Structure 1
Amino acid sequence: MKHLLILMLALALPLFAAVVTEPIQRGDISVKQSFNGTLSFNQKSRLASESEGKVTRLYFDEGDYVKKGQVLLEIDTKILDANIKATKASIKELEFSLQRAKLDFKRYEALLAKQSVSKQKYDEFYFQKMQLEQKKISLESSLEAQNIAKNKKRIKAPFAGYISKRSVEIGEWLKVGSEVALLLNPNKIDIIIHLPSSFINNVSKNKTIMVSINGKDYKTKMIGALLSGNKKTRTFPLKLRLLPSKDTFFDGMQARLSLEKSSVSDVLLVSRDAVIKRYGKDVVFIVKDNKALMVPVRIITYEGKKTAISASELKVGDRVIIKGNERIRPNQEIRK
């Protein structure tokens, strides 16, 4: 009995809908045309080996973030280390011989000044010293070349970025030029969008240009319009640089740029949320005599969160429903 009474009271009460409204305005709006473009990492490097040998250590994997100068892998250096050790020993041995030759030469130089030794004997010690000095230079150059070769056994990241691809495994034999990884710099991302020449002239190089990626707006700056166009479509590539963002992007993602095509003056303006689909038509609900009146509209264009519409039944100042309109029925009583 109690539940029946509650049900009867509920049916007796009028069904009010709680909504949010705003007044219809009149103003000007731009007609936009959208163009799709593609994200491309401006700085990408296919890292390759400058030396041949077996990979002994691997310090990275796909998806890793690496810093500039970070060691990515090492190639076996056992034979090279032995050669470097032998060269260093040869230099040390030669330094002793050179030291003795310099002392001998100094003595013969003094003897020659006193005419106590022949010029021929003096020349022999002079050229012996010179020969040892040149041999030392040769060995030191050889040691420097060996150290350079050893440094090439360690592949380092040329810039900070993400490893997009790994092409090597531990124990694998690398040849000179073997690709080991693909490195991408996430802070240098360009967007190429093909535009008719008339639209390119409307893009300012000194202003921030907004593009949409996955439904979110991002700031870019114009790098320039490339002069080589597509003869079939009569479009020209516009190059934009994506400004730094904490979001993650992928090479080849789609970006959308909206540019003004024309403008419409003195039109009715409502929030985008005011226009909904009902019975397959675009409609808005306005509040009239505390009831929801459904009015079919024609959408002229969009700009940001505003929509330009046309409808003979609407006028400036009418309260249009922007929240709660999805559940409204025509002529339903409204509580604002």
Structure 2
Amino acid sequence: MKLSFKKNWLIAYITFIILFLWLISGCFSSRETQFDINGPEKHLLLKVQTKKMRAESVDREIVVSAKTEPARRVSLKAEITGKIVATGAHRGAIVKKGELIAKIDERNLPQRLAEAEALLHQRELEYVASKSLFESNFQAETKLAESKTLLEQAKANTEALKIDLRNSNVLAPFDGLLDNRFVEIGDFLSVGDPIAEIIEINPFIVVAQITEYDVSRIQKGMTGYVTLASGEKFEGEIRYIAPSSNSKSRTFTVELLVLNGNPHLPVGETAELRLPVGKVLAYAISPGHLTLNEEGDLGVKVVGEDHKVVFYPIDIIKTSEDNIWIGGMPESIELITIGQGFAATGQEVVPVPETSEPTHSASVLNI
């Protein structure tokens, strides 16, 4: 997968740089000693290549692995008993609301409904006559109540048959994708037997697990950005944040609702979710500019006052395909881009801007 490959390459590259610098870190103390001794060597200064930079305001992001899921998943089940006499869409098809999925044999339901409607008409006439007689004092109230009861029974029976007749046609309840169809023509179903599963994929949701620290920085309605393993990118809105954490992982489930123009988007696809949680000043640098100090801390080296090397531990704000964004430094710096592995903290150096003739390796000048 394109996304995972690029992330894994970047992580591996950073790890290689760190291990390489750790292996040569012993050079730091020995080189620092050369500048502390008295003698002609104190006039030897290291030449390093530098780049003057100003911090940019960027979004601090929570970046987590996630996966896509349907916004809704509905299981359609038989609501009447009977044999399947017709089927509609096949598994994997895009369906519209009201589209036929399967049809159950109506048997004698139309005839029974016609009979029930005729009886209902009769009960209505009987009730009207009974009510007229009661109002003229020619009939007892109990007879009127009996007529009313028979009328209501006829109404209920007619409505029940209408519902059964409608339920013989199993229809899609919304626009979506027919994920599964469990029946074929000739299958006999009882009430409650499964017929099909339909999922809604427009919109779809992206589900991620957020740490206890990060969940306090997000809220419902926030915008999030999704990159799928296929490379497709979407923008969505947080619709749900779990009120309690997972008892094992101590993380919180977060759902991002995303409008989707691709009806064939795979469900369950791996994704990367980015949630901007504020602005921060940061620098975009190559992972190759990272280095270690004498204590083994990861950071960058810059040229400070009097041309002396200053080390800054870094705060990684976010990553991109080619760069990492780091913070925790002044608003402007002169970053050492070549030679940082040979320059000890506090050591005086000769900065050579990148605009000058390229410096391919660190060298020493006699000044």
Same fold (TM over 0.5): yes
Matched residue type, 1:165: N
Match runs of 1:66-77 below 5 Å:
66-77=95-106
Pairwise CA distance, 1:165: 0.6
2:196 counterpart of 1:156: no
CA distance in 1, matches of 2:148, 2:280: 87
Pairwise CA distance, 1:95: 6.8
CA distance in 2, matches of 1:25, 1:165: 60
Residues 230, 79 of structure 1: alpha-carbon distance in 2 compared, 3 angstrom cutoff: same
Matched residue type, 2:337: A
Match of 1:48?
77
Match of 1:218?
234
CA distance in 2, matches of 1:57, 1:317: 74
CA distance in 2, matches of 1:138, 1:33: 62
Q: How many residues align?
A: 258
Pairwise CA distance, 1:25: 6.5
C-alpha contact 1:66 1:163 (8 A) present in aligned 2: yes
Match of 1:36?
65
2:179 counterpart of 1:167: no
Residues 219, 83 of structure 1: alpha-carbon distance in 2 compared, 3 angstrom cutoff: same
C-alpha contact 2:245 2:253 (8 A) present in aligned 1: yes
CA distance in 1, matches of 2:284, 2:81: 72
Deviations 1:38-93 (A, max 9, x none): 2221211011111111111212211222222233222111222222233344456x
Pairwise CA distance, 1:207: 4.1
CA distance in 1, matches of 2:262, 2:104: 35
2:197 counterpart of 1:182: yes
Match of 1:140?
155
Matched residue type, 1:86: E
Residues 251, 224 of structure 1: alpha-carbon distance in 2 compared, 3 angstrom cutoff: same
Superposition TM-score, scaled by structure 2 size = 0.56
Residues 72, 303 of structure 1: alpha-carbon distance in 2 compared, 3 angstrom cutoff: same
Match of 1:209?
224
Match of 1:307?
323
Superposition TM-score, scaled by structure 1 size = 0.60
Q: Which runs of 5+ in 2 are unaligned?
A: 1-50, 290-314, 325-334, 340-350, 361-367
What is the SS of the residue equivalent to 1:68? coil
CA distance in 2, matches of 1:210, 1:34: 10
CA distance in 2, matches of 1:268, 1:134: 81
Alignment counterpart, residue 26 of structure 1, candidates 36, 53, 63: 53
Matched residue type, 2:338: S
Match runs of 1:188-199 below 5 Å:
188-199=203-214
CA distance in 2, matches of 1:237, 1:97: 61
C-alpha contact 2:179 2:199 (8 A) present in aligned 1: yes
What is the SS of the residue equivalent to 2:69? strand
CA distance in 2, matches of 1:46, 1:198: 37
CA distance in 2, matches of 1:95, 1:240: 56
- Coordinate RMSD, CA, aligned: 4.5
CA distance in 2, matches of 1:212, 1:25: 33
CA distance in 1, matches of 2:176, 2:266: 13
CA distance in 1, matches of 2:276, 2:117: 72
State the identity %.
19
Residues 269, 46 of structure 1: alpha-carbon distance in 2 compared, 3 angstrom cutoff: same
CA distance in 2, matches of 1:34, 1:91: 65
Residues 310, 252 of structure 1: alpha-carbon distance in 2 compared, 3 angstrom cutoff: farther
Pairwise CA distance, 1:305: 5.6
Residues 319, 70 of structure 1: alpha-carbon distance in 2 compared, 3 angstrom cutoff: farther
Alignment counterpart, residue 237 of structure 1, candidates 236, 244, 253: 253
Pairwise CA distance, 1:123: 4.1
